[in-house]
Amino acid sequence: MNMCSDAEIAALVEMIQHEGHDDLAEVDALAARYPDDPRLHFMRGSILAGRSRAIEAHAALTRAVALAPDFHIARYQLGFFELTSGEVDHALATWGPLLRLPEAHYLRQFVEGLTHLVRDEFAEAIVRMEAGLALNQENPPLNADIRLLIGECEKLARGETAALPPDSDQSLTSLMLGQFGPGGTRH
């Protein structure tokens, strides 16, 4: 597999973090040279999700995971994207391998927390997500997103959220997760 060098990835990340660049064009240019590099598909998917281009984002994240099944953050992101898109069963299936990570891995804790969340088990969700926060030293933007989720879980647990219309077939959890859907996350 022909992969982009770590130096090229670092330069790309540095470029993306500065305003004034077309980050998608930069990623696409490298992906044209290295079509089998899962990191580039992951970055592309993250950028597209941030631009609310859901179909393309899903395809890019799926490709990243297909190329590198053990690329844990890509697998997490794909599952989170599926979850916030209303595809709970797909998310749980995508995350399955992450539940085999060691107990002390932050992604396992986040996935366990989100699994409790989809079952409206707010206290358990909060405990697992807070455990993940304590463990995660490598992805601060993800911690910021999880803190937002914990805050929303705390509101749900206290009954402080707006009531759903009586004819709604959506749960409060799915309504809350919709806020974090494509375009809402930063990792």
80 to 30, 57, 59, 160: CA distances (angstroms): 26, 12, 14, 24
Write the single-letter amino acid at 174. Answer: S
The count of other CB atoms within 10 Å of the CB of residue 125 is: 26
CA distance 89 to 98: 15
Q: At what angle do helices 54-67 and 72-84 cross, to 10 degrees?
A: 150
Q: Quickly state the pLDDT bin for 161 (edges 50, 70, 90).
A: low
* pLDDT 10s digits, 9-42: 888 888 877 766 678 998 999 999 999 999 999 9
Global model pTM greater than 0.75: yes
Which residue, chain included where needed, has tokens 């749980």? Answer: 92
User: What residue spans define the domains of the chain?
Assistant: 1-69, 91-187
The pLDDT tens digits of the residues spanning 107-159 come to 999 999 999 999 989 999 999 999 999 999 999 989 999 999 999 889 888 87
pLDDT at position 51 over 70:
yes
Q: Please give the pLDDT value at position 2.
A: 83
